[in-house]
Structure formats: C-alpha cells, structure tokens
Amino acid sequence: MKTPIHVIFFDAAETLFHVNGSVADIYLTYAVQHGFRQTPDSQASIAQAFQRAFRDATPLVFAETDPIKLKRCERLWWFDVVHNVFYRVGMFERFDEFFEQVFQVFEDPRSWALFPETHAVLTKLRKEGFELGIVSNFDSRLFPVIRGLGIDRLFDTVTISSMARSAKPASKIFEVALEKHAADPGEAVHVGDSVRDDVEGATKAGLTAILLDRGSRASNTLPAGALRITTLSELPLLLHRSTEVE
C-alpha cells in the first residue's frame, strides 16, 4: 500500500449493512399478500431467479440528471429486474401493486441492519483523521437508508452509480469519487465484498483494494496488491500496518 492514505471508500450493502432476512424472503412475503401462489420451493426459486435477473441486468447507470426523472429511471430499472424474477417463478395479477410496495420496503431503514462492528469502526477511522466515502452500485434509496441506520454523518461523500453515470467495476465511478476528495488513486483504499466490482474495479482504477471476505470467498485469488479482511474490525490495524510500506 502506497502512502499516505487519506481516503477510505466503502461499498454499501453487504459491506456496511445487510438485508434483514433475505431479498427472496421479502419478495415472497409481499408477493403472497398480492396473490402469488406459494409452493414449497418458492423461496429457493425466487433467490435463484433474483441472482440471475440481477446479474443479467444492464448497469444501474443513467444519463438523466434531474432528481425526479432519475428516481423514475431507478424505479423502472428495478421494475424490470423484479418482473424478470416473477416471470421465471410465476407471475400474478396484482404484480404492479406488489412492486410498488416492495420497492418502498427496501427504502425503509428497518429492512436493513448494520453489521455489528460498522459504526464503531467508522467512528474510529474518522477520529484518526481519515476521510470516508461510499462508492456503491446502489440507487438513491441509499440516502434514507444510511440516515435511518445512523451512519450518514460519518461519511464525507456518497457516490452511487445512478448519479455517477458509471457502475463498478468501471474505473469512472472511482474517479468521480476521488474527485470529490481531491485525491489521487494512490491516496485511497476501497473496501467491499465483491471480488469483481470492488477488488478488481478498485485495483484497475489505481486504488488499493481490500476484500471484505466474511467467509464465502477465501479461496479466490486476488489481484496483486489487494488485501483481505474478514471483518471491518480488522481494517484500522491493517491500515496502520500498511502505511509504512514503500
């Protein structure tokens, strides 16, 4: 890791916080309320269909800059994803009503939970003088979520794909985030749970990448220079150990 490090960027979902339950559980619960016919394998089928639909979707990137129109674009993007899910597992008559409700559910901070160490680690890093930012492929619902979770004031910047006109792993979204801090890539690290989006993306953009591996990807080979932690609690010590390298 090159020095000095001034800025620490974080991915959002599955790095700082996680869904209460699972996306599939939430989809199933509300779909049944709107007429979906549940079967014993519905939860597993929805989970599999969501992974495929999300993977196959175009990046959450738009040319629109007007806030109202941008939110409309985000909603339509998610409508296509969720429609794709239930096209595969079983469509139902009141799907539009279901989507309106479930879209709002994921804007509700109560649908999310911080990882146990998140708040303490962010507070410690700020006290140590680091600038903190979020770089995420989330949409604008991220803002009420982090406010509700009580971590919004711990971040100097938030960069999301739908506003940055670029999504991880593309370098542009990291460049947009760096500009907000007037920082060079070598002065920043990025922490995230995705090897492709966070580690490979940040590495290609010239940042030091840190994989937050909570146990599922220990065998994955990381790009040269990338680091690995298993909990955010390991991050402050890792940064201190690394700042004298080179």
Average pLDDT, stretch 182-189? 97
Cα–Cα–Cα angle for 236, 160, 221, nearest 5°? 55
Q: For the chain, give every domain's residue range.
A: 7-16+115-242, 20-110
Residue 245, pLDDT score: 45
Q: What is the mean pLDDT of the chain?
A: 94
Average pLDDT, stretch 86-93? 97
Asked whether the predicted pLDDT for residue 217 surpasses 80, the reply is: no
Q: Residue 1: which pLDDT band, with cuts at 50, 70 and 90?
A: low
Residue 45, pLDDT score: 98
- Residue-wise pLDDT tens digits, 7-36: 999 999 999 999 999 999 999 999 999 999
Residue 118, pLDDT score: 98
Q: Residue 4: which pLDDT band, with cuts at 50, 70 and 90?
A: confident
Query: How far, in Å, CA of 207 to CA of 7, rounded?
Result: 10
SS (H, E, C) the chain: CCCCCCEEEECCECCCEEECCCHHHHHHHHHHHCCCCCCCCHHHHHHHHHHHHHHHCCCCCCCCCCHHHHHHHHHHHHHHHHHHHHHHHCCCCCHHHHHHHHHHHCCCHHHEEECCCHHHHHHHHHHCCCEEEEEECCCCCHHHHHHHCCCHHHCCEEEEHHHHCCCCCCHHHHHHHHHHHCCCHHHEEEEECCHHHHHHHHHHCCCEEEEECCCCCCCCCCCCCCEEECCHHHHHHHHHHHCCCC
Q: Residue 246: which pLDDT band, with cuts at 50, 70 and 90?
A: very low
| Burial grade of 224 (CB within 10 A; 0-12, 13-18, 19 or more) | exposed
The dotted CATH code for 7-16+115-242 is: 3.40.50.1000
- Residue-wise pLDDT tens digits, 34-69: 999 999 999 999 999 999 999 999 999 999 989 999
Q: How far apart are the first and last CA of the chain?
A: 7
Asked whether the predicted pLDDT for residue 242 surpasses 90, the reply is: no
Instruction: Judge whether 35 and 127 are in contact, CB under 8 Å.
Output: no
Q: How far is CA 6 from the centre of its chain?
A: 22
pTM of the entire structure?
Answer: 0.93
Average pLDDT, stretch 97-105? 97
Q: Residue 241: which pLDDT band, with cuts at 50, 70 and 90?
A: confident
Q: Residue 216: which pLDDT band, with cuts at 50, 70 and 90?
A: low
Residue 201, pLDDT score: 97
- Residue-wise pLDDT tens digits, 125-168: 999 999 999 999 999 999 999 999 999 999 999 999 999 999 99
96: number of Cβ within 10 Å:
11
At residue 15, φ and ψ (nearest 5 deg) are -115, -55
- Any idea how long the chain is? 246
